[in-house]
A and B are shown apart, each in its own frame.
Chain A
Amino acid sequence: MSFIFGLVMCLCLIPVELIMLLVLYPKNWRKAKLIFGVTKRKEYCEGETEKVVDGIYVKRRRQAVMILLLSIAVGLVLVILHGISFQTTLWLIAFYASLIGIMCPFFMGNREMKSLKRSLGIMNEKGVNLTDFKNVGVIRTLDKRRVLIPNITGLLIVAAALLIDLEVIKVNSSLTGQFLIFGVTALFWGVGLLMTVLAFVMDGVKNEVISEDSAINANYNRALKKNLSDLSVISVWINVVFMLAVLLFFTFNYSEMGMLIGSLLYIAMIMMETGIYVFRNKKIENRYQNEVSVVADEDDYWIGGLFYYNPNNKRLNVKKRVGVGGTINIAHPVGKLITGIIALMLLFVVATMVYIGMAEATPIKLNIEDGQLICHHLSDDYVIDIADIESITMREDIDSIHFVRIAGFGMDKLLKGNFTVDGESGCRVFLNPENGICIKVKTAEMTYYVSAATSDETRAAYGKLQSDVNHD
Chain B
Amino acid sequence: MIIRIDELSDVPIYMQLRNQIVMGISSGELKSGEKLPTVRDLALEMGINTMTVSKAYQLLKTEGYIMTDRKNGARIRNEIKKEATVSDANKAELKRIVSETRISGVEKQEFIDLVNSYWEGGTI
Contacts and interface: CB of A to CB of B under 8 A. Distances in A.
Interface of A: 125-134, 136-137, 204, 206-207, 209, 212, 214, 294, 310, 312-315
A314 B51 CA distance: 13
Contact of B2 (A133, A137, A204, A313): A133
**How would you classify the secondary structure of chain A's contact residues: helix, strand, loop or mixed?**
loop
B107 interface: no
Contacts of A212: 2
Contacts of B11: none
Given A137-B45, A312-B47, A313-B47, A132 B37 contact: no
Contacts of B20: 133
Nearest to A209: B2
B1 A315 contact: no
A129 B4 contact: yes
Contact of A214 (B1, B43, B48): B1
Given A133-B3, A212-B2, A294-B2, A127 B8 contact: yes
Nearest to A139: B45
A212 B121 CA distance: 15
**Chain B interface main SS type:** mixed
Interface residues of B, number: 25
Interface string B44-72: 11111100000000000000000000000
A133 B1 contact: yes
A208 B1 CA distance: 13
Interface in B2-40: 2-9, 20-21, 24, 29-30, 37-38
Contacts of B7: 127-129, 312
A315 B44 contact: yes
Nearest to B36: A133
A315 B4 contact: no
B41 interface: yes
A314 B8 contact: no
Contact of A314 (B24, B42, B48): B48
A292 to B, nearest CB: 13
B40 to A, nearest CB: 8
Contact of A128 (B1, B5, B38, B45): B5
A206 B47 contact: yes
